Amino acid sequence: MGLGAASVAMGVVPDLVRANERAPGPSLAALARGKGLRFGSAVGAGRAGSLTGTLDDPRYRQILIDECGVLVPENELKWYVLRPDARTFAFERADRIAAFAKAHDIALRGHTLLWHHPKWFPAWLNAYDFGKGPAAARNARALLVDHIDKVVARYPQIDSWDVVNETIDPRDGSIRRTVFSDAMGPEQTLDAAFHAARAAAPKARLVYNDYMGWEAGNEAHRAGVLKLLEGFRKRGTPVDALGVQSHLGTEDPAAAGGLGPPQEKAWRAFIDEATGMGYDLLITEFDVNDQALPADIDVRDAETAAVAKAYLDLMLDYRQTREVLAWGMVDKYSWLQGFTPRKDHLAKRVTLYDDAYRPKPLREAVAGALRSAPARA
């Protein structure tokens, strides 16, 4: 029985099992592996209450299987998905992604144990009463450490964790205030998260992840992150790497999503300082925002590919860069379609594959950067 007949018999819409167009040459996972790197992507669990919906799509799954050596749940490990309240854990959605990765022998990263930003806390957590005085600090620590213990223990296959995400306020470089930092103190909160993660996953790579970018307007954000990284080292906080989100063209406050000239010199100085303190680097959420580019698809694709190649060449030149993760692999599923829509309402072209599951020039840019990257041990 041919594949078409089989899928009809199984009640699958035949169109969905049409083969994807494959990029010529080795996969991105293989190119990365050849250089001692990992390449992969974020993925959503799909189905009811879907946030991004991509594990439901067989053609998307095929791209992940073909191209990725590592996956990261896009939302499924965040408090707002995992924690309906202070006592309960809702693991089903993350479990689905973990099972998929395991079934296809793909590694798994974790994102994130503490998105230290009140905007991304569940409402019950923002309203949580930890009590007064020293008891408040104890209670806050107990809730945080219990969360980290249980989540880390549930997914022993995760070997790289974004322990803390986006805690620096880009406006002034300060640490954001939350119910945890109010009860425990800001540094104490972040340190407690890393110590708990180290105790629960002694062999995992522990990462501080943030979106400071190489574009103008990120100066205070970069300075704040460096200060934070310095503090971790002074206090002996177990942090192994800096996660550089790399939403290119999104973190440019002045141009509102433009692809203006990068501050290359200042960016290199930033990366030099971080690596100089002994931190490894990860590109954790790569995509290229075409919000402010012309409508013409060829122009947009050429421009995003050129910017990507220049950026990735710079970053991969640092032997400290260990992993490259795209924030989604097919345009229509990208968070950027909704987060920063184009003024002309055209669909964005921000990921490596188009909506017909065809590889784009951006995919070739990533492949080219991996090909020319120096090998690391």
Q: Closer CB to ligand XIL, residue 189 or residue 246?
A: 246
Amino acid letter, 118: P
Instruction: Convert 47-72 to b/e letters by CB count within 10 Å (16 or more is b).
Output: eeeebbbbbebebbbebbeebbbbbb
**Binding marks (x or -) toward ligand XIL, 196..235, rule CB under 6 A?**
---------------x------------------------
Q: Tokens 């964790």 belong to which residue?
A: 161
Q: Closer CB to ligand XIL, residue 41 or residue 245?
A: 245
Q: Closer CB to ligand XIL, residue 84 or residue 278?
A: 84
- Residue 315 contacts residue 281 (beta carbons within 8 Å): yes
Q: Closer CB to ligand XIL, residue 318 or residue 335?
A: 335
Q: Which of residues 272-301 bind ligand XIL (CB under 6 A)?
A: 285
Question: Is the four-CA dihedral 249, 255, 260, 266 of positive or negative sign?
Answer: negative
Q: Does 165 bind ligand XIL (CB under 6 A)?
A: yes
Nearest of 236, 138, 123, 145 to residue 187 by alpha carbon: 236
Q: Does 176 bind ligand XIL (CB under 6 A)?
A: no
Reading the block at residue 132, the tokens are 């007064």
Q: Closer CB to ligand XIL, residue 275 or residue 337?
A: 337
Work out which of 27, 41, 52, 289 binds ligand XIL, going by CB under 6 A: 52
CB of 276 to ligand XIL, least distance (A): 25
Instruction: Convert 75-91 to b/e letters by CB count within 10 Å (16 or more is b).
Output: bbbbbebbbeeeeeeeb
Q: Does 245 bind ligand XIL (CB under 6 A)?
A: yes
Amino acid letter, 222: R
Nearest of 48, 112, 108 to residue 80 by alpha carbon: 112
CB of 296 to ligand XIL, least distance (A): 27
Chain contacts with ligand XIL (rule: CB under 6 A): 51-52, 74-75, 165-166, 211, 245, 285, 335
